[in-house]
Chains A and B, each alone.
Chain A
Amino acid sequence: MFTVLLIMVAGVLTGYLLRRHKLKKIGLAITFFIWLLLFLLGVEVGGNEKIVSSIPTLGLEAIIISLVSVSGSCLAAYGLWTYIQRHRKEKDNC
């Protein structure tokens, strides 16, 4: 499964070497493959009765995971922000 990551690294190098050129078509290629892959994911899901019937449960699970993720990240960001603010005030007082 690390093949995919190696391919990505090859892409990064290629992109870096080509960075002076205009690469407008790249965005189009990315969009095309994303659409294709999500269509294929749909085909796979649609062909599997077990998954289709559990879509409501999966959806609920998905929303819970995203709410919890956002809360976790925001709490961490809050910590960093308060730390930076406090540090700034101390500096100003000196």
Chain B
Amino acid sequence: MKGSLIIVGFFVAGIICGLTGLLSINDFDIDVSFYALCALMFFVGISVGSDIDTLKGLRGLDMRLLFLPLFTIAGTLIACFLLSMLLPQRSPSDCMAVGAGFGYYSLSSIFITEYRGPELGTVALLSNIAREIITLLGAPLLLKYFGRLAPISAGGATTMDTTLPIITQTSGKAFVILSIYHGFVVDFSVPLLVTLFCSV
């Protein structure tokens, strides 16, 4: 929660700089965002690669539970596709790109800004922050109506870090490894799926 507040803080600080004319994106001769994105993705890759060993705890798990990330991804994408029918100003690929952030607001908004411009990037940032907050606040309710896997599914890509504590509390300790595995897989799908939907 503190992390998302700091993120929003930086975003707002940027808006203020842009609004007051203190700083303009055209001030830079090179495409700073693109190079920073490349550096970010390299480091994200390193942290994923060095973490692969944690997945060894999965062996004792019910095999069918390993499909949970696919259900999470399919559920969100189908829902976003249906929603785009109701939002006249957004194409299906727009909605699905935003949904494919799965709560990973920093990465997805950065990617979408790079490929589709700052307007959809802003929607992605706000939407994916909202997904994390919904999971943090709504986990007990989701558990009650949708069963023990629902808080994990709702958390999307965040279930290996920010929403892990609340999932442990609501779904139970038995779901910790599943939650980490789920976050790991969905996390990895974010850059792939967002790029895919932005290029359609």
Contacts and interface: CB of A to CB of B under 8 A. Distances in A.
A40 B50 CA distance: 29
Given A39-B11, A40-B33, A45 B122 contact: yes
Nearest to B87: A61
Nearest to A70: B154
Interface residue tally on A, bucketed by range: 35 or more
A26 B48 CA distance: 11
Interface in B36-84: 36-53, 62, 64-65, 67-68, 71-80, 82-83
Given A30-B44, A35-B7, A64-B83, A48 B118 contact: yes
A47 B76 contact: no
B contact face: mostly helix, strand, loop, or mixed: helix
B47 A45 contact: no
Nearest to B83: A68
Interface residue tally on B, bucketed by range: 35 or more
Contacts of A54: 119
A75 B40 CA distance: 33
Nearest to A51: B119
A34 B7 contact: yes
Interface of A: 1-5, 7-19, 21, 23, 26-27, 29-30, 33-48, 50-52, 54-55, 58-59, 61-85, 87
Q: Identify the interface centre among A50, A55, A64: most chain B CB within 10 Å of its CB.
A: A64
Contacts of B6: 35
A contact face: mostly helix, strand, loop, or mixed: helix
Given A34-B40, A37-B106, A18 B46 contact: yes
Interface of B: 6-7, 10-21, 23-25, 32-33, 36-53, 62, 64-65, 67-68, 71-80, 82-83, 87, 90, 95, 98-99, 102, 106-107, 109-111, 113-115, 118-119, 121-128, 130-131, 134-135, 138, 142, 145-150, 152-154, 156, 191-192, 195, 198-199
Contacts of B111: 4
A33 B79 CA distance: 31
8 contacts: A30-B43, A39-B11, A42-B14, A44-B14, A46-B15, A61-B123, A70-B131, A72-B75
